[in-house]
Structure 1
Amino acid sequence: LLIRAMPSVHDLYPDAEAVIIGDTSADQDYVASLNAEIQRLNLQGVVRLTGRVSDEQLRAYYAAADIFALPALSSKTQFEGFGLVYLEASAAGLPVIGTRDCGAEDAIREGETGLLIPQDDSAALTAAIDSLLRNPDLRTRMGAAGKVFAASQTWDQVGDRVAAAYQTVIARKK
């Protein structure tokens, strides 16, 4: 979806680039389809696949970015359960864009830390990217809110909230 949105984004922002980070060794057919789409849309130099990167490199990519977008798709066989990567990007101070019904709702506070778009809607993705790139104050505000939200999502804090929820249920049963 991000690749399909990039021609429109690039028309609006000629310096815009999309960097897709992640292990490319597991599914060579998928990587080949991404590369074919990049070629078909003439996006060489606009969209880059990095493959796996070190934690240090990932931090550098986050630091260089203006926004983070992961427009995931859910299907009957694949589902993004939580979307930890959205919190990682938020912790780096980036406003994030994710898709509804893909686990992103748990990691993105709509309008506060980022934007949620419908699945498989490249026009909505383009509009969300445009909204953030066009408005530096919004990016800054969402990035700052994202840092605060991500800091509240440590394993200990989440565990405490789950334990409190269990205690509430137990107390109601008495």
Structure 2
Amino acid sequence: MSTKLGVICGNLAYVLTIENVATTLGITERGVRLRIDLLSGLLDAHLRRGPKNQLLFDDSALAILKRLEEVRRLDGLSLRQAAQVVREEMERQRGKVSGEGGRIGASESVKDGTGECGGDWSVRKLIEELERERDYWREMALKLQEQVRELERLALPAPREGRPWWGRRFFRWFWS
């Protein structure tokens, strides 16, 4: 069963092209290539060549590149400095999983459910990012619901059906 799952994970993982990654990160293709060069040792396992020598990325590579952009933007670092920070983070994470953390690192991988497909730091970061995005949209929906309730409270009452008062009096006088 685990070999089938590994084959499935291997086949479905490489679906992103360099154009997809560039639009996702909001940078140019040249910028993506520069980041690949800076993180060459970390991304090699997550990149493949497709038809016509096209560069294909898996989700882990995208998560690593997103983390690089996050570090660069939030901390105001240069690309090289941000790449160094990401390398250090990944090395610390690998140390926990490979044995420095002992049984704790291995159990974390199993507990996350990522042990089957070779889940690692980048998958966890992607999950964390998606959770943050979910929380943001949940807060936005709650704020909008609150604004709608406030506007409903301030809205004018619906107009009554029927004729205006002067029309009713005129017709009463006219028909009587």
Do the structures match in fold with TM over 0.5?
Answer: no
| CA radius of gyration, larger in | 2
TM-score normalised by the chain length of structure 2: 0.26
Higher strand share: 1
Higher helix share: 2
